[in-house]
Amino acid sequence: MKLVYVFDAYCGWSHAFSGTLAEVIARHPDLPVEVVSGGLFTGQRRVPIREYGFIKAANVQVTEQTGARFGEAFNALLDEGTFVMDSGDAARGLIALRQAAPEKAAELAIAMQKAYFHDGLSLSDAKTYRKIADDFGLDSDAVVGAFKAAVADEDFQLAARLGVSSYPTLIAVKGNDAYALARGHASVEQVESRLATLL
């Protein structure tokens, strides 16, 4: 059995799920975890962040419901308003990091969200992935090269084949069957309860 985590690095609810994901992984070190990027902000949805006027209020709701925090640098980005979220670039970044350390894919995905939602760093900027790679002791030149060459559509197509259209979604794959452990926010206890029926 393995876990498949489908998220979008620019999704506030995915950011909020990071704590649950990290704890579930820590409790099951023997379970492989595959991480797949979804395409929340692609095509015509790649517009200045001020066009998404609901984000600030939504983040207040995220914090109230989950305790997840958003950093001052991110909030400054939100207030300034010209930043463009591009899920294609974020997916390419994940692919590059995942290639460098597939066994740390979930931790790297969490680091990407921290870079954006805490530090206000762009997930379209190669320097962001260089920093994450350095933090994890990875070959940062190789990661940056892979980021520039990666094709995001492969992840988006896999997410679609898994039937995922909202983020985050955590799936347990056992043989030919897939079981949803979480859609949107879920506590560690809720995920563990569902996972226990499959182990």
- Residue 187 near residue 20, CB atoms below 8 Å: yes
26 phi and psi, to 5 degrees?
-65, -35
83 phi and psi, to 5 degrees?
-60, 140
Percent of the chain clearing pLDDT 90 (strictly above) = 97
Task: Report pLDDT for 97.
Answer: 98
Over residues 46-81, the pLDDT tens digits come to 999 999 999 999 999 999 999 999 999 999 999 999
Over residues 129-175, the pLDDT tens digits come to 999 999 999 999 999 999 999 999 999 999 999 999 899 999 999 99
Tell me the CA distances in angstroms from 89 to 37, 99, 108, 168, 178, one per residue in order.
Answer: 10, 15, 15, 18, 28
**30 pLDDT more than 90:** yes
Dist. CA 90–CA 99, nearest whole Å: 14
What is the reported pTM? 0.95
Half-sphere exposure of 48 (CA within 13 A, CB side): 7
Q: 9: which 2 tokens?
A: 């690095």
Task: Report pLDDT for 143.
Answer: 98
Task: Report pLDDT for 43.
Answer: 95
Q: What is the DSSP string of 114-126?
A: HHHHTT---TT-H
Task: Report pLDDT for 199.
Answer: 86
Over residues 133-143, the pLDDT tens digits come to 999 999 999 99
Task: Report pLDDT for 92.
Answer: 98
Task: Report pLDDT for 158.
Answer: 93
Task: Report pLDDT for 114.
Answer: 98
Task: Report pLDDT for 172.
Answer: 96
* Mean of pLDDT over the chain: 96
Tell me the CA distances in angstroms from 1 to 22, 52, 192, one per residue in order.
Answer: 18, 38, 15
- Residue 34 near residue 3, CB atoms below 8 Å: yes
Beta strands 33-37 and 2-7 are: parallel
Percent of the chain clearing pLDDT 70 (strictly above) = 100
- Residue 64 near residue 35, CB atoms below 8 Å: no
- Residue 152 near residue 91, CB atoms below 8 Å: yes
